[in-house]
Structure 1
Amino acid sequence: MLQKFRWLVWPVVIGLVAGLTLLALRQPAFDSNADAPGYAHAFENAAPAVVNIYTSKIVREEQSPLYDDPILKHFFRRGNPAEREKVERSLGSGVIVSNEGYLLTNNHVIRGADEILVLLQDGRQSIARLIGSDVETDLAVLKIDLPGLRPISIGSTERVRVGDIVLAIGNPYGFGQSMSQGIVSAKGRYGLGLSQYENFIQTDAAINPGNSGGALVNQRGELLGINTAIYTKSGGSMGIGLAIPADLALRTMGDIIEYGRAVRGWLGLEVKALDQQSNGVVVSAVMPDGPAAHAGLRVGDIIYAINQTAVGDGHAGMNEIAVTRPGDKITLSVGRSGKRGEVQVVAGIRPTPLAN
C-alpha cells in the first residue's frame, strides 16, 4: 500500500472572511468552567503567537501555439487572451518567536508567493517580509513590524517523551485559529521523502490543511514543533501528523537571520546503508580535498557512529552532521579491513549549498 503524505496548505476561497469572523468573537464574561481541568491555560499562553498566513501569487497562463497563426492573430488582435493573468491564493499558519517580529513557518506555505499577509489573533494584520527559507528542512523565516507582539515560549524537545500530551494550534481549512489535543506518538521519524533532513515528532492531534507552519505545544503552551504534514488518504486528519522539532527550527532560523541561509557542517563523502540487520553505512565516494579526504577516509570504509551516536541506516548520522558547524571536530567510529577505530574529521563548508 502506497503511503501518502500531504502538505497542509489550503487554497483560499472564503478562508480570510471566516478567519476574520472567528477572530472577532469574544469570550463570555462569565466562565462556569474556570476550575475544570483542561488546556485553556496552554491555549491562552500560546495562541497570541500563532498567526494565520494568507499568500497570493500571480500566475501567467502560457500562450497557446494557436496564437502564432497570423490569421488567428488578426481576429484576436484586441485583448490577446494568451496574456491573461490570474491570482492564486492559499493559506497556512505561522508562529511568532521574537519580540522583533520574526516568524517561523514552512517553506511550502510561502513558496513562490508575491504577497504574504499575516493575521494575528487580536485581529491586527501586516504584510510580512520573507527573510529567507531552507528547502532542506522546509522552513521559512518571515518578519512583521507591529508593536506589542507576544512571542511563544520555547519548550525542551529533548525532554519530549512518547505519550506526552501535545496541542496543535493553527488555521485548519481557513476556519480561523483552532486547537486540537493528542499525544506524542513517536519521535525521530525520517525517510518519508518530505525534506532532506527529517527528524519529525509524530502526533495524533488532529492536524488538517491550513495547519502547516502552526505550533505544536505542550501543556504549558511552550513550543515543541512546527506542524508540517499529515499522512492521509482522505485529504484530512487520520491521526498521523508530523512536526519539525523546535530546536531544529530555531537553529535554522538563527542561521537564516544571520547568514541568509542555513549553515551546516559538511564531510565531503557519500554513503550507502548496509543491510537491514546491520548498523552502519559504507563510504561510496570521497570528495577530493574535502574534510573526509583530509582525514584519510576511503571508499569501502564503514562508519558505525558519529560523535558516539549510532548512524543506523544513515539518517541519524545525517542529522548528527547537520547540527554541526564548519570547524567543529567530529569523531567517527570507522571500520576498515576488519579493524575498528576512531577518526577525527574537521567539518567543512559545503561548496555549493542547494538553492532555496
Structure 2
Amino acid sequence: MNTQGNPVSRTRKRLLAAVASVAVAGAVGFGAVASGTVPVLAQAVAVETQAQAPGFADIVERVSPAVVSVQVKASVAPAAERGGDFFTGPDGFEDLPDDHPLKRFFREFRGDRDQDRGRRFERRGGRGQARPMAQGSGFFISEDGYLVTNNHVVQGGSELVVVMDNGDELDAKLIGTDPRTDLAVLKVEENGRKFTYVEFADDGKVRVGDWVVAVGNPFGLGGTVTAGIVSARGRDIGAGPYDDFIQIDAAVNRGNSGGPAFNLKGEVVGINTAIFSPSGGNVGIAFAIPASTAKLVVDELMKDGTVSRGWLGVQIQPVTDEIGESLGLANAKGALVNEAQPDGPAKAAGIVAGDVITKVDGKEVASPRELARLIARIDPGKEVEVTLWRNGKNETVKLKLGELPGEQQQAALDPQAPDQETGTLADLGLTVTTADDGKGLVVTDVEPDSDAAARGIQPGDVITSVNSAEVNGAADVAKAMQEAAKAGRKSVLVQVMRDDTNLFVALPVAAS
C-alpha cells in the first residue's frame, strides 16, 4: 500500500527520527552504551572540596585551660550590681550629677540590668553561708599561679575564687591593682601545682582586620568562646589619661571583663575591659587594653603590688590647626601647656603656659594622650629631655620627673583689688574689664555672631595672655594682634582662665 502521501505515516516517521536523535545525543552526552541496552541518565552527586573554612578549635583547645572565671565575694554590694562585671569608668564618676555627659556615657556602657542578675548564691566548703557574688574573667600568665583580670571586677571584694576550665575552684589573693588602667593581678597557690598559662603578644603588629578570639565568662556561663576581628585601634573612650584601646567586634558581654582576646598564635593581644551597648548586651563594639600596656603594668604589680608613674606636672590640651598656625608650628602636633602646676618638675624647669611639648627624650609627642603615656612609662626620679616650641623656635630643657600624685593639685590665685578698666575689642567681638587681681581681662560681653563666640569664649572668662604676652588692658591685646599681623600670622593664641582651668583659643587676626 502506498503510504507516501498518508499524513499519519509521515507523522509516525518524524517521531521515529526524533527518538533516534535522542538516542544519539544520549550516547554523546553520557558515553556509548552497549548494544541492546537502554540509555541511563547520570546520577547527581554531592559536591566535595579540599578547601577547609578557617577554624579556631586548635587555638581554643590550647588556651582554654589558662582562662578562668573570677568570682568575688563582696563585703559591700557586689560590683556586678553596680555594673561592675564590665567597665564603668574611673573612680569618681558615680559622684557626678545624673545629667553629666560622662555619667550618661558610662550609663550607656552599663545598660539597665535586673538587680538579681548580678547576684549569685552558693555554698562552699561546708560553711553553709549565702555568698553574694560578682563574676568576671581572668587568665594565668605564669605557671606558678599569677593571673590577670580587671580592677573593676575585684574592686570591693573581700574574698576571691577562681574557677578553672575543668571546674576546679581555687582561692586567690589580691597582689595589686591599678585603677588608672583598670588592671589587677591575683595569685593562686595550690601545693606546688603548675598552671597552664599564656603570654602577651606584640600588639604593635596587630592590624585592623586581624582575627581575634575572646574566651571568658559572660553572664556566668564560663568557658565561652567568641571570635571576630580587630575593628579599630587607638580608641579614646574617655576612661582616663592612658586610653589606647583596641576595638574588637567579637561578642563580649557582662562577665567577659578581664578575659583575654587572643591572636591566631594563641597570644594575648588585649584584655577585654569595656563594651558599648545601649542594652548592656553585645552589639559588636568592645574595647580591650593593649597587651603592651598590660604587660608593663602587670610586671610592676607582680613586683611591688603597685604602679609608680613619672610626673611632669602640667595641664595640657591638644594643638589644633588654628592654634598651630597662631604659634608658627608647621604641623598641628604636640601638647600645649595650659599650666605648669606648683611644685611640679615642669615649673621648676621653667616650662610655662603657652609652651608646646613636642618631644620627650627625642620621641615625638603627637598629642596630649601620647605625652601622658610617654611620661607614665618613665620611672620617677629619672632625668628626661623635653623639647618645647616657644616663641617661634625649639628649645630644650632637662628635668627630673616626680612621682604621679594621687590627686590633682590646684593653683590658687592671690587676690588683689586694683582699679578696673573697661574696654572693647571690636575686632574680636569682646567687651572686657580689668580683673579684680589686676592680672588679665575679664570678658563681660561676647557678640553672638563674633569669632570669639564661635570659638567658645564666654562672659566670665579671663584673658591672661595673647601669644604668650601678658595682657592687663585692651591696649595690650590690640598690640599683640598688630604684632601677629606684621609677622604674617593669621591667628593669635589667647590664653583664657575659666573656673580655675587654663584654656587656649586661636582667634583670627583682623584683615588690615
How far is 1:352 from its partner? 4.2
For 1:207-258, what per-residue CA distance to the aligned partner results, in whole angstroms no more than 9, with x for missing partners? 1111000001100111111110111112111111111112211211221222
8 Å CA contact 1:272, 1:284 repeated in 2? yes
Match of 2:242 in 1: 197
Match of 2:172 in 1: 128
Corresponding letter in the other structure for 2:384: I
**1:192-231 equivalent positions in 2, closer than 5 A:** 192-231=237-276
Distance 1:346 1:47 in 2: 45
**1:235-274 equivalent positions in 2, closer than 5 A:** 235-274=280-319
For 1:47-73, what per-residue CA distance to the aligned partner results, in whole angstroms no more than 9, with x for missing partners? 11110011121348xxxxxxxxxxxxx
Deviates more, 1:50-59 or 1:35-44: 35-44
Identity of aligned residues (%): 40
Distance 2:202 2:284 in 1: 23
Structure 1: 5+ residue stretches without partners: 1-34, 61-85
Cα RMSD of the aligned pairs, angstroms, is 2.4
Corresponding letter in the other structure for 1:320: L
How far is 1:298 from its partner? 1.8
8 Å CA contact 2:317, 2:335 repeated in 1? yes
**In 2 relative to 1, CA 308–236 (structure 1 residues): closer, same or farther, beyond 3 Å?**
farther
Match of 2:217 in 1: 171
SS of 1:153 mapped into structure 2: coil
8 Å CA contact 1:168, 1:207 repeated in 2? yes
Q: Aligned pairs, how many? A: 296
How far is 1:331 from its partner? 3.6
For 1:241-281, what per-residue CA distance to the aligned partner results, in whole angstroms no more than 9, with x for missing partners? 11111221121122122222112111122212233663232
Match of 1:55 in 2: 72
8 Å CA contact 1:199, 1:319 repeated in 2? no
Corresponding letter in the other structure for 2:222: G
Distance 1:202 1:323 in 2: 23
**1:42-121 equivalent positions in 2, closer than 5 A:** 42-59=59-76, 88-121=132-165
Corresponding letter in the other structure for 1:119: V
Match of 1:137 in 2: 181
Higher relative contact order (CA 8 A, sep 6+): 1
Distance 1:58 1:304 in 2: 47
1:320 aligns with 2:371: no
> Which residue, 185, 194, 198 being the options, matches 1:148?
194
Match of 2:475 in 1: none
Match of 1:66 in 2: none
SS of 2:204 mapped into structure 1: coil
8 Å CA contact 1:138, 1:195 repeated in 2? no
8 Å CA contact 2:218, 2:254 repeated in 1? yes
Deviates more, 1:210-219 or 1:331-340: 331-340
How far is 1:350 from its partner? 2.7
How far is 1:353 from its partner? 6.7
**In 2 relative to 1, CA 325–342 (structure 1 residues): closer, same or farther, beyond 3 Å?**
same
Larger CA Rg, structure 1 vs 2:
2
State the TM-score, normalized to the length of structure 1: 0.77
**In 2 relative to 1, CA 276–203 (structure 1 residues): closer, same or farther, beyond 3 Å?**
farther
8 Å CA contact 2:170, 2:188 repeated in 1? yes
**In 2 relative to 1, CA 195–45 (structure 1 residues): closer, same or farther, beyond 3 Å?**
farther
Distance 2:239 2:404 in 1: 22
Distance 1:50 1:56 in 2: 20
How far is 1:94 from its partner? 0.4
For 1:29-54, what per-residue CA distance to the aligned partner results, in whole angstroms no more than 9, with x for missing partners? xxxxxx86411121122111110011
Distance 1:314 1:166 in 2: 29
SS of 2:132 mapped into structure 1: strand
Structure 2: 5+ residue stretches without partners: 1-51, 78-129, 323-331, 409-512
